[in-house]
C-alpha cells in the first residue's frame, strides 16, 4: 500500500574522510537511538557523543552545500543477438560506474583542495594566513582517494512525523572531473565537485543505510 511516509525531503550533510571501509561501516557505530550525523559532527569537532567520537575523528564536515547531493549510477550492458530472434536473446553487464556530485557553498581552502583532488600537505597554515599550493603533480601520480559519507533524512517513523536517518557511505571516491568556479560581483563563490566512486576489493562501492531507531 502506498504511504506518504516513504517520501523523503531534505538536504544531506556531507563528510569527507579517509578511504576504506572502516570505521564508518561498523555495525554498532553510535548508541541505539543516537544520530549518526551528531556522532560525525562530534568527532570532527573533538567533542564526544555516545562514547564513539574517537572512532571517526578523521572525518570533516564540508559545511553548507548547494543544489543538493546527486548520486548517479552508469551501468553498461551488451546485447547478445541471435539469428532466430529480431532482438537480443540475452544481455550482460560489461561495465559499471558510480558518481556523486554536489556544490560546496563554503569556499574554504580545505574544500578547494578536495575539489582539486589534492592532499592536505599542499595546504599550509601560518599565524596570519593559509596557503594552498596549486599542485600539478608529477608524471605517473595516482589520483588521491578519499571516503565520503552523506547523512540525510530517511522515511518517516511509523506513527510519527519525524524522519529517520539515511546514511550513504562510499569507501573510495576520487575528484577527477574538471572544476570551475567564479569570483563574481553579484553571486557567491560556489565550488562544484563531482566524485568518481571506485569499488573496494569486495566489489562493493559502499552502502545506503536507513537508521530507523534514531531520535
Q: What is the pLDDT of residue 49?
A: 47
Query: For residues 172 and 19, is the Cβ–Cβ distance under 8 A?
Result: yes
The whole-model pTM stands at 0.88
103 CA to centre of own chain: 12
pLDDT tens digits, residue range 160-201? Answer: 788 889 999 999 999 999 999 999 999 999 999 999 999 999
pLDDT tens digits, residue range 97-115? Answer: 999 999 999 999 999 999 9
**4 within a domain of the structure (yes/no):** no
Query: Who has greater pLDDT, 88 or 20?
Result: 88
Across 61-90, average pLDDT: 95
Half-sphere exposure at residue 6, Cβ-oriented, CA atoms within 13 angstroms: 3
The candidate with the shortest Cα–Cα distance to 167, out of 199, 214, 208, is 208
pLDDT tens digits, residue range 16-71? Answer: 998 987 766 544 444 556 778 877 777 666 554 444 444 456 788 999 999 999 99
Query: Who has greater pLDDT, 81 or 44?
Result: 81
Q: What is the pLDDT of residue 137?
A: 84
**11 within a domain of the structure (yes/no):** no
Q: What is the pLDDT of residue 204?
A: 94
pLDDT tens digits, residue range 143-154? Answer: 999 999 999 999
Q: What is the pLDDT of residue 52?
A: 44
**60 within a domain of the structure (yes/no):** yes
**153 within a domain of the structure (yes/no):** yes
With 80 as the cut, is the pLDDT of residue 134 above it? yes
- Average pLDDT value over all residues in the chain: 87
Pairing of strands 146-156, 163-174: antiparallel
**9 within a domain of the structure (yes/no):** no
> Hey, how many other C-beta atoms are within 10 angstroms of the C-beta on 3?
9
Q: How many domains does the chain have?
A: 1
**1 within a domain of the structure (yes/no):** no
Q: Domain range spanning residue 99?
A: 18-211
Query: Who has greater pLDDT, 121 or 35?
Result: 121
**5 within a domain of the structure (yes/no):** no
**81 within a domain of the structure (yes/no):** yes
Q: What is the pLDDT of residue 110?
A: 94
How distant, in Å, are the alpha carbons of 72, 80, 89, 138 from that of 93? 17, 11, 14, 35
Amino acid at each position: 500500500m502506498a504511504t506518504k511516509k516513504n517520501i523523503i525531503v531534505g538536504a544531506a550533510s556531507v563528510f569527507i574522510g579517509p578511504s576504506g571501509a572502516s570505521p564508518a561501516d561498523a555495525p554498532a557505530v553510535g548508541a541505539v537511538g543516537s544520530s549518526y550525523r551528531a556522532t560525525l559532527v562530534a568527532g570532527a569537532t573533538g567533542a564526544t557523543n555516545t562514547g564513539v567520537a574517537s572512532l571517526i575523528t578523521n572525518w570533516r564536515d564540508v559545511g553548507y552545500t548547494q543544489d543538493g547531493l546527486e548520486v548517479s549510477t552508469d551501468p553498461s550492458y551488451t546485447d547478445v543477438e541471435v539469428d532466430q530472434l529480431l532482438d537480443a536473446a540475452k544481455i550482460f553487464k560489461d561495465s559499471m560506474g558510480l558518481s556523486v556530485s554536489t556544490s560546496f557553498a563554503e569556499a574554504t581552502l580545505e574544500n578547494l583542495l578536495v575539489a582539486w583532488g589534492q592532499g592536505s600537505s599542499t595546504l599550509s597554515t601560518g599565524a596570519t594566513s593559509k596557503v594552498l599550493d596549486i599542485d600539478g603533480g608529477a608524471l605517473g601520480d595516482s589520483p588521491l582517494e578519499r571516503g565520503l559519507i552523506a547523512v540525510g533524512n530517511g522515511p518517516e517513523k511509523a506513527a510519527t512525523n519525524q524522519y529517520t536517518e539515511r546514511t550513504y557511505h562510499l569507501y573510495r571516491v576520487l575528484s577527477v572531473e574538471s572544476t570551475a568556479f567564479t569570483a563574481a560581483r553579484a553571486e557567491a563563490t560556489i565550488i562544484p565537485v563531482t566524485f568518481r566512486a571506485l569499488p573496494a576489493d569486495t566489489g562493493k562501492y559502499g552502502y545506503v543505510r536507513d537508521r530507523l531507531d534514531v531520535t
